[in-house]
Structure 1
Amino acid sequence: MHLPSRQLIVRTAVAGVAALTLAGCASIQNQRGYLVDEVLVASVQPGLDNRESVQGTLGRPTMQSQFGDPVWYYISSRTEQAPFTRPRIAGHTVLAIRYDERGNVLSVERSGMERVVRLDPDGRETPTLGRNRTFLQDLFGNIGQVGAAGMGGSGAPPR
């Protein structure tokens, strides 16, 4: 009688660990930015809407153009990440609403994953302009420079 209860406990523990392991393998989804509502987006019409009506319908934009024609951008991105891997972009939408000088909607344009570019950095170093110096040159390079002209010293030449 004592042996079957011990086997039951072991089997239950193994089943619990297996369930937790499988649950940990599920990918993590993350939504960032504007939550796209297709009905609201479809209601914005060029020639009928203006900045106030668009802000009342869609809310404040994610960002606005700083130069050139006035454009409001609503940006949405969804990523997925399996355990122990890098996140990958699963969905991306940019809604661009262009306005005329009076604030009326000129056009509503939408782009998606076709415009997403993955950039890989070149190695683990950031190239910089200037001299290539070693750690010791950086560490000891300023010895004798304290008090020199232009560095907080008197600026007068030595006598």
Structure 2
Amino acid sequence: MARRAILAVGLLALPLTACLTPSRDYHGYVADEAQPSEIQPGEDTRSTVLAQLGSPSTKSLFDDNTWIYMSELQERVAFYRPRVKTRNITAIAFGTDDKVEEVLQYSAEDGQVINYASRETPTRGRELGLWEQIFGSVGNVRLPNSDEVTPDNPTGRRR
């Protein structure tokens, strides 16, 4: 009887082990045959880099002579946030003669945390609570016989 209970608990707990197995997600450039680090400065040209590595992940914003290849591996366990396991960034700079001048390698350790601007536009004045928004206009209604300036009454005086 005890064996059956242990076996039943074991079989019921078996699907839970699948939650503990990390799932892996690859993002960005995935090298097929050649690695970006195999590019040789002074030997390779823009066309040979394109033939070996394919199109870059992105180009430099300020200079089209720098190609950037980015790749990242993330692991997620159960419902937790994904964690970056590896991140590789290779920047390839070309000279005026389309030959590779330098190959720069960066990893996750080279990165810096950037604080992004919030998506809120600051406004002047005070913030109203829920009840102030609902009942804030009570008592602020003008009567039709007021001194309000309208197109029919440009001076605002009573007639």
1: distance between equivalents of 2:91 and 2:104? 5
The correspondence for 1:58, drawn from 53, 57, 71, is 53
Q: Does 1:29 align with 2:24?
A: yes
Q: Which runs of 5+ in 1 are unaligned?
A: 141-156
2: distance between equivalents of 1:84 and 1:52? 44
TM-score (norm 2): 0.68
The correspondence for 2:92, drawn from 73, 89, 97, is 97
Aligned residues: 136
Q: Does 1:106 align with 2:109?
A: no
Structure 2 residue aligned with 1:130: 123
1: distance between equivalents of 2:122 and 2:54? 43
**Amino acid in the other structure paired with 2:122:** L
* Two-structure CA RMSD over aligned residues (Å): 3.3
Would you say the 8 A contact 2:34–2:53 is kept in 1?
Answer: no
Structure 1 residue aligned with 2:112: 117
Give 1 or 2 for the bigger CA radius of gyration: 2
Q: Which runs of 4+ in 1 moved over 6 A?
A: none
Secondary structure at 2:12 match in 1: helix
**Amino acid in the other structure paired with 2:105:** R
Would you say the 8 A contact 1:69–1:100 is kept in 2?
Answer: no
Structure 2 residue aligned with 1:145: none
Q: Give the helix-richer structure, 1 or 2.
A: 1
109-118 or 59-68: bigger deviation: 109-118
Would you say the 8 A contact 1:36–1:76 is kept in 2?
Answer: no
Over the matched positions of the two proteins, sequence identity in percent amounts to: 27
Structure 1 residue 42, shift from structure 2 partner: 4.2
Secondary structure at 1:57 match in 2: helix
Q: Which runs of 5+ in 2 are unaligned?
A: 138-149, 153-159
TM-score (norm 1): 0.68
Structure 1 residue aligned with 2:43: 48
